[in-house]
Amino acid sequence: MKPTPKPPRNPAPLLALGAHPDDIEFGCGGVVALETRAGRPAHLVVCSRGESATYGTPAERVVETEQAAALLGATVEFIELDGDAHLEVRAEHAIKLAGLLRRVRPGILLAPSLIENQHPDHARLGRLARDAARLARYGGVDELRDSPPHPIGQLFYYAVTPEAEPPDITPVLVDVSAPDILAAWTAAMEAHTSQTSARNYVELQLTRARLRGLRAGIGHAIALFPNDPLVLDSLAPVSRGARRF
Amino acid sequence: MKPTPKPPRNPAPLLALGAHPDDIEFGCGGVVALETRAGRPAHLVVCSRGESATYGTPAERVVETEQAAALLGATVEFIELDGDAHLEVRAEHAIKLAGLLRRVRPGILLAPSLIENQHPDHARLGRLARDAARLARYGGVDELRDSPPHPIGQLFYYAVTPEAEPPDITPVLVDVSAPDILAAWTAAMEAHTSQTSARNYVELQLTRARLRGLRAGIGHAIALFPNDPLVLDSLAPVSRGARRF
Amino acid sequence: MKPTPKPPRNPAPLLALGAHPDDIEFGCGGVVALETRAGRPAHLVVCSRGESATYGTPAERVVETEQAAALLGATVEFIELDGDAHLEVRAEHAIKLAGLLRRVRPGILLAPSLIENQHPDHARLGRLARDAARLARYGGVDELRDSPPHPIGQLFYYAVTPEAEPPDITPVLVDVSAPDILAAWTAAMEAHTSQTSARNYVELQLTRARLRGLRAGIGHAIALFPNDPLVLDSLAPVSRGARRF
Amino acid sequence: MKPTPKPPRNPAPLLALGAHPDDIEFGCGGVVALETRAGRPAHLVVCSRGESATYGTPAERVVETEQAAALLGATVEFIELDGDAHLEVRAEHAIKLAGLLRRVRPGILLAPSLIENQHPDHARLGRLARDAARLARYGGVDELRDSPPHPIGQLFYYAVTPEAEPPDITPVLVDVSAPDILAAWTAAMEAHTSQTSARNYVELQLTRARLRGLRAGIGHAIALFPNDPLVLDSLAPVSRGARRF
Amino acid sequence: MKPTPKPPRNPAPLLALGAHPDDIEFGCGGVVALETRAGRPAHLVVCSRGESATYGTPAERVVETEQAAALLGATVEFIELDGDAHLEVRAEHAIKLAGLLRRVRPGILLAPSLIENQHPDHARLGRLARDAARLARYGGVDELRDSPPHPIGQLFYYAVTPEAEPPDITPVLVDVSAPDILAAWTAAMEAHTSQTSARNYVELQLTRARLRGLRAGIGHAIALFPNDPLVLDSLAPVSRGARRF
Amino acid sequence: MKPTPKPPRNPAPLLALGAHPDDIEFGCGGVVALETRAGRPAHLVVCSRGESATYGTPAERVVETEQAAALLGATVEFIELDGDAHLEVRAEHAIKLAGLLRRVRPGILLAPSLIENQHPDHARLGRLARDAARLARYGGVDELRDSPPHPIGQLFYYAVTPEAEPPDITPVLVDVSAPDILAAWTAAMEAHTSQTSARNYVELQLTRARLRGLRAGIGHAIALFPNDPLVLDSLAPVSRGARRF
């Protein structure tokens, strides 16, 4: 094989969107940890403070999120849309997120999946993220004229719970078995103590990742669901499949 | 980013299965050319001599296939199953193909897709290939005791015609736009002169690849459909998506 | 078999939501009649007065609905969302319905299916109902602080017309063949005289239920579509299947 | 509610079909244990002796299977079709299984799912089982004239591995959390020592059942997939849903 | 609009395939009657004598079929494949049917649908018919050299029962409401007295067609499912849709 | 065959809806040209002036659209909804479009497909169009009382790009191979010079139509996706299928 070119020295950032303070960590925290440890900058954007949840105050949730982000090696910010449990699919939200994309200029965008049978904010944020990725490329949107258009590389959906995994998209499975990755992910989830003290969320996620890993013959894996087909220059990076039983 | 390890010096071969002498070339010849030019050995196995086709004698078809394989940088052999237009899904065929897999020991296996609304031999060979990839791993099959078990890395389906593209698998798109790749693929298709003189098969395939390429913002692309989810160590190789319009 | 525990003396109510005055009766009236005759309280909530329909005044529709509910053994109330033919998917509507769920505290919730190719109000109400069932469980929603959280047992979708039957959910078929049930259902549909005088709605529903019944080897059956998988302690209650031809 | 009639004193047996000695135990052993402990007779029929597997001799596999069946409270027999890794879909096999159904006369039939991307014997046995359930009802099949026709109540598919779960059938989730059920199931799986010493099959199944259980807010659950819609006389037995997150 | 050219004076025949003596009549008899009354020749080919059915002798079934065909205005013949309840998907059967296609040279081919959850012979005949339609076009199949290749115009699947309706193909609905058509269809079904005396098959079919008709705002309709997209020169013939509720 | 009645002298108009000035032309312009040349009036309604696009001013876009409509033989008007890149699914928009339907009174309605992974305005306009077609039939909607109800014949979706083709609807393929039709379509696309000078949109569409045509054995074809099943009086107009390879 011809030598593979080294990865670019400054890989485009990863941007992850979450509707609530713990969604990113529970749904794809291991992937964020994996990428930051490989040198890719990661930025988390959380669109509420969890103010409608059963447990935890908004102030507590913000602190937990900042701790979790640090554990994942990522920066984090909060933005305002309609608030927890009140999110709607509005054009102005998609445009606001498109402005965020033009500012962060990510190569990879992570957003909650479009499956509606979960917390209603999740799928709506996913739809807004998909629309934002498109609007960020268009030159003429008035509200976005301050920053130049930006095309992302790929949008991957993550599933906060197993029910949210889209059945009609073939996932890619990201190996998060390395001990330091798994530990960072677990710590980031556990940083959300207001949530984890009440319900077994961490067990849910680790069980899910372990089941994915067992099926693939590895330790733990997280499924991501590409919004568009992957474009490849070679089959070399995709020559591992996920079937061991 | 941490430096990417170089590809292995001796990458596992690519094995492509075709039901008829021109199926591989028309369905995924550009991918074979891309991989061989990158240093991966490729072996084509054709399971009939096209003896039921409208045009061309079996002897002519064999010669055309050998020429096409050479143009793709691949080796080729013919094996006997039930013959053109007579293929059935039999356990003995799957076991025979499993023996082939143990002999060639590929990392990547290409086979026609499972969609049934095409030439009946295509989908049947696809099913046999999928079963063979599994049987090749089992230690106790009597007929296979001569050679050690072999697990492939990934099985990708190719579609000989657009109708054969499976709607429920998210494809990967392989960029075959490089002039030498596109030229080798075109030449390999045109080597099947007994077929191309009668119908516009080459135009069909190049139009299809151009449409895929236009959608992805590149020149030409061929879609492959993974049988199992891809397993990845990093998002770096999958950070290009296929949407340009 | 171990003796089955008797059903609870005070089974949790059934709550059925309809977008228009006759939707519940046409879509699942027989199920309501079956459950009330078995001792389960049922409450119907209708979200418009049918003010955009071709036939009948709002005042007439209300009277017809009250008569129909009485025939089904159910109570009924009307609530205001956006009005007939004007319903939109708004967070405030979902929260309002969540408040209703906390007040009625049903075990079973019936709502119109999510298939969009029907009267636009139907699918929107279904989506609002699904979201409401989730929000009713969350402790922190400001607008809902007056009443304690309430988890329903199961949400079933009904289809007002055959086109609204979701193709991707395996239905359960409820046997409504008993003469008194069938008579009560038919009478409840016919109570909507402003509608049935103009079009053959009753024939549509009875033909549909008869076709379901014929397929299951019984008289008449109504299909319901569970939003989430059923959880069972035993296979005993699900040991009848729906295939007779 | 009207008093529920007690279950029949002699419930119709459960019949489970497996292609290999451990398929039933791994795929749905907990359900078998649950039903036998509730007083329903269960009979396991295994269609090979695992003679093509990597580990274990046929004689060992038979002994392990008999031990496992006893732990589940079931009887067991072996029948000959084409042999391990050689099964084909033949009309004579379906007729042979129909004869078995007429002899055992089950109310509930369990068979491996029809998803083809698993061990090829699994899906083929599932298809044969489905056809057999139909042929067992027809009066005129020559080979079956010795025994009277028998209609089963319901055919449920089980999935030996997660990949085999059919995405287009809404499952029912059977709660196998009771300590004695879970212990019996685990012991039956571990009885297949020739298999479990080599690979972590038991962990795979318990992880899968735990993930189903976590999603449903219970301990462990096994998913079964009905071949035909369930027919119900009341919503009472299906008023629990599977969503807790 | 430009004047529509008149239909050809000698329209290509309709060929309908049935696995058992009454399948065509129950599944699509009204369409056959409609077409023959419009001047198109129709030929029915039945692939068994119903020798495994619960009711009726083969000799009785043949007589009933001949009477039914006459009522539909069609000719009929019986061919031998593997016999009732014994049909398998064999290449030789597809080739035999391809020979039939070359002899009859139909424009339209009707065959049972591919849905497997029905009498096993139905879906297998459907698959053989689809393959035969393809093989009939290929010039080189040895067994077919006696007659020139023949491409059909379109293959439509019919569903013998509602369960057999393919959910993934958009049907065309054929209006069979005209009194003479409906009468001929009903009479043809009732000609199978050995079957209709035992079960309510005729009611099943008329109820199904009435439900389709009610939905389309007409009397009765039969759904056919095209194997390939329709090719049109104008939208004029497809400007009626099927939604009335 | 009985003589076909001639088409009505005054066929009901075709109404095509586009979200942006070039959507109709790129997505289904050839069909519009075909129908107008056959004598059917066509009216295009464009719901923005493309004011958020990368290239072209609103004034330029209007002029280009008027030129394109003239080339297609159609009339055109612009209406205001929320503006380019700002469209939302609002009940008032559906009612506004229903009023348009009552004014134009089309037999055939063309609208962009419902697939969401495209420009967000496209799918939203498609949903509004589908709802409008229903509301236009209801007698009681206050805002619509000025004009009598109007039922359309059929709603067909068009796909502006290949990604927007709905995978779950069987398309009809309209043959646009006639030289004058193909020339008119091409000219209408090229009239949008502000767009075509920047990207290869015309090549995308002609490549797509050529691929459809190659598959059907004709020159070029455009796929339309019916919202409801087609209702037919005869199989004569649908006896051509789309498979040539």
Q: Is E196 helix (H, G, I), strand (E, B) or coil?
A: helix
pLDDT computed for residue D3 by the predictor: 42
Asked if the Cβ–Cβ distance from E175 to F35 is below 8 Å, we say: no
Mean pLDDT of chain C: 94
pTM confidence score: 0.95
CA distance C147 to chain D (A): 20
- Picking from A51, A52, A120, the nearest residue to C131 by CB comes out as A120
pLDDT tens digits, one per residue of A49-85:
999 998 999 999 999 999 999 999 999 999 999 999 9
Please enumerate residues of C whose Cβ is less than 8 A from a Cβ of F.
Answer: 50-55, 82, 84-88, 116-117, 119-120, 163
Alpha-carbon distance B156 to B23, whole Å?
Answer: 15
**In E18-105, which residue ranges form alpha helices assigned H by DSSP?**
23-37, 58-72, 91-104
Do the strands C154-158 and C108-112 form a parallel or antiparallel pair, or are they unpaired?
parallel
Consecutive H or E run containing E120? helix E120-135
3-state DSSP helix/strand/coil % of chain F, to nearest 5: 40, 15, 45
* Chain C residues with CB-CB distance to D175 below 8 A: 231-233
Q: Which residue of A has its CA nearest to D199?
A: A245
pLDDT computed for residue F241 by the predictor: 76
Burial degree of C62 (CB within 10 A; 0-12, 13-18, 19+): middle
Q: What is the DSSP letter of E241?
A: B
* CA count, 13 A, side-chain hemisphere, D138: 26
Cβ(B54)–Cβ(B65) under 8 Å? no
Q: How confident is the model at residue A3 (pLDDT cuts 50, 70, 90)?
A: very low
Query: What is the phi-psi region of residue D109: left when phi exceeds 0, alpha when psi lies from -120 to 50, beta otherwise?
Result: beta
List the subunits that have 3+ CB pairs under 8 angstroms with A.
Answer: B, C, D, F
Asked if the Cβ–Cβ distance from B215 to F245 is below 8 Å, we say: no
- Picking from E141, E149, E227, the nearest residue to B85 by CB comes out as E141
pLDDT computed for residue A10 by the predictor: 83
3-state DSSP helix/strand/coil % of chain B, to nearest 5: 40, 15, 45
Consecutive H or E run containing B92? helix B91-104
Q: Which residue of B has its CA nearest to D163?
A: B228
Alpha-carbon distance B123 to B120, whole Å?
Answer: 6
- Picking from B161, B203, B245, the nearest residue to F204 by CB comes out as B245
Token digits of residue B51: 């003896």
Asked if the Cβ–Cβ distance from B139 to D55 is below 8 Å, we say: yes
Cβ(A222)–Cβ(A174) under 8 Å? yes
Q: Which residue of C has its CA nearest to E202?
A: C214
Cβ(D74)–Cβ(D32) under 8 Å? yes
List the subunits that have 3+ CB pairs under 8 angstroms with F.
Answer: A, B, C, E
Q: Could you tell me what percent of chain B has a pLDDT over 90?
A: 90
In this model, does residue B4 exceed pLDDT 60? no
What lies within 8 Å, CB to CB, of F187 at 6+ separation is F71
Alpha-carbon distance C189 to C177, whole Å?
Answer: 16
E–F: how many Cβ contacts below 8 A? 173
In this model, does residue B244 exceed pLDDT 60? yes
* Chain F residues with CB-CB distance to B165 below 8 A: none
Q: How confident is the model at residue B124 (pLDDT cuts 50, 70, 90)?
A: very high
Mean pLDDT of chain E: 94
Q: Which amino acid is at D129?
A: A
Cα B231 from chain centroid? Answer: 20
CA distance F188 to chain C (A): 32
One-letter-per-residue 3-state SS of chain C: CCCCCCCCCCCCCEEEEECCCCHHHHHHHHHHHHHHHCCCCEEEEECCCCCCCCCCCHHHHHHHHHHHHHHHCCEEEECCCCCCCCCCCCHHHHHHHHHHHHHHCCCEEEEECCCCCCCHHHHHHHHHHHHHHHHCCCCCCHHHCCCCCCCCCEEEEECCCHHHCCCCCCCEEEECCCHHHHHHHHHHHHCCHHHHCCCCHHHHHHHHHHHHHHHHCCCCEEEEEECCCEEECCCHHHCCECCCC
Asked if the Cβ–Cβ distance from E211 to C203 is below 8 Å, we say: no
Strands, sheet with D14-18, edge to edge from the N-terminal-most edge strand: C230-232, D172-175, D221-226, D154-158, D108-112, D14-18, D42-46, D75-78
> D117 phi and psi, to 5 degrees?
-85, 60
How far apart, in Å, are the Cα atoms of E217 and each of B236, C25, C150, C235, E244?
56, 21, 43, 42, 5
* CA count, 13 A, side-chain hemisphere, C180: 8
User: D55-69, D221-235, F192-206: which has the minimum mean pLDDT?
Assistant: F192-206
Which residues are bridge partners to F109 per DSSP? Answer: F15, F155
Asked if the Cβ–Cβ distance from B52 to E130 is below 8 Å, we say: no
Neighbours of B181 (CB within 10 A): 25
| Nearest residue to D171 (alpha-carbon basis) of D241, D245, D72 | D241
Q: Which amino acid is at D71?
A: L
What lies within 8 Å, CB to CB, of C81 at 6+ separation is C47, C48, C87, C93, C96, C125, C128
- The residue whose two tokens read 């019919």 is E158
| Nearest residue to B118 (alpha-carbon basis) of B52, B154, B181, B166 | B166
Asked if the Cβ–Cβ distance from B7 to A6 is below 8 Å, we say: no
Residue to substitute from F23, F119, F211, interface B, most B β-carbons within 10 A: F211
Asked if the Cβ–Cβ distance from F201 to B245 is below 8 Å, we say: yes
Asked if the Cβ–Cβ distance from A53 to C228 is below 8 Å, we say: no
Residue to substitute from C96, C115, C141, C152, interface A, most A β-carbons within 10 A: C141
How far apart, in Å, are the Cα atoms of C116 and each of C111, E17, E81?
14, 37, 45
Cβ(E222)–Cβ(E212) under 8 Å? yes
In this model, does residue E201 exceed pLDDT 60? yes
pLDDT computed for residue F1 by the predictor: 40
CA distance E109 to chain F (A): 10
Q: How confident is the model at residue B3 (pLDDT cuts 50, 70, 90)?
A: very low
- Picking from C130, C131, C138, the nearest residue to A52 by CB comes out as C138
List the subunits that have 3+ CB pairs under 8 angstroms with C.
Answer: A, D, E, F
The stretch E148-167 carries a mean pLDDT of 96
Q: Could you tell me what percent of chain C has a pLDDT over 90?
A: 90
pLDDT tens digits, one per residue of D156-215:
999 999 999 999 999 999 999 999 999 999 999 999 999 998 779 999 999 999 999 999
In this model, does residue B157 exceed pLDDT 60? yes
How far apart, in Å, are the Cα atoms of E79 and each of E19, E49, E133, E224?
10, 9, 17, 24
The stretch C65-87 carries a mean pLDDT of 98
pLDDT tens digits, one per residue of D106-154:
999 999 999 999 999 999 999 999 999 999 999 899 999 999 999 999 9
In this model, does residue E7 exceed pLDDT 90? no
- Picking from A167, A200, A210, the nearest residue to D207 by CB comes out as A210
Asked if the Cβ–Cβ distance from A127 to F116 is below 8 Å, we say: yes
In this model, does residue A221 exceed pLDDT 70? yes
* Chain C residues with CB-CB distance to D233 below 8 A: 174-175
State in Å, rounded, how far the first CA of chain C is from the last one: 31
pLDDT tens digits, one per residue of C158-215:
999 999 999 999 999 999 999 999 999 999 999 999 999 877 999 999 999 999 999 9
Angle B223-B225-B230 from CA coordinates, rounded to 5° = 115
Asked if the Cβ–Cβ distance from B201 to F245 is below 8 Å, we say: yes
Q: How confident is the model at residue D4 (pLDDT cuts 50, 70, 90)?
A: very low
pLDDT computed for residue C244 by the predictor: 64
* Chain A residues with CB-CB distance to D196 below 8 A: none
- Picking from C91, C142, C227, the nearest residue to A87 by CB comes out as C91
In this model, does residue B18 exceed pLDDT 90? yes
Residue to substitute from C161, C201, C214, interface E, most E β-carbons within 10 A: C214
- Picking from D91, D135, D142, the nearest residue to E82 by CB comes out as D91
Cβ(E47)–Cβ(E19) under 8 Å? yes
Residue to substitute from D82, D93, D135, D154, interface E, most E β-carbons within 10 A: D135
Token digits of residue C31: 């199920």
Angle F234-F237-F238 from CA coordinates, rounded to 5° = 95
Cβ(F58)–Cβ(F49) under 8 Å? yes
* Chain C residues with CB-CB distance to A22 below 8 A: none
Angle D1-D5-D9 from CA coordinates, rounded to 5° = 160
The stretch B79-93 carries a mean pLDDT of 98
Mean pLDDT of chain B: 94
Residue to substitute from B114, B138, B169, interface D, most D β-carbons within 10 A: B138
- Picking from D91, D114, D134, the nearest residue to E88 by CB comes out as D91
Q: How confident is the model at residue B240 (pLDDT cuts 50, 70, 90)?
A: confident
Q: What is the mean pLDDT of each run of 10 residues along chain F (245 residues)?
A: 51 97 98 98 98 94 98 98 98 98 97 96 98 94 95 97 95 97 98 90 96 94 97 92 67
* Chain F residues with CB-CB distance to B245 below 8 A: 160-161, 163, 199, 201, 204
List the subunits that have 3+ CB pairs under 8 angstroms with B.
Answer: A, D, E, F
pLDDT tens digits, one per residue of E56-77:
999 999 999 999 999 999 999 9
Q: How confident is the model at residue E9 (pLDDT cuts 50, 70, 90)?
A: low
Alpha-carbon distance D125 to D129, whole Å?
Answer: 6
pLDDT tens digits, one per residue of A39-51:
999 999 999 999 9
* D189-228: burial string, b at 16+ Cβ within 10 Å, e else: bbbbebbbeeeebbebbbbbbbbbbbbbbbbbbbbbbbbb
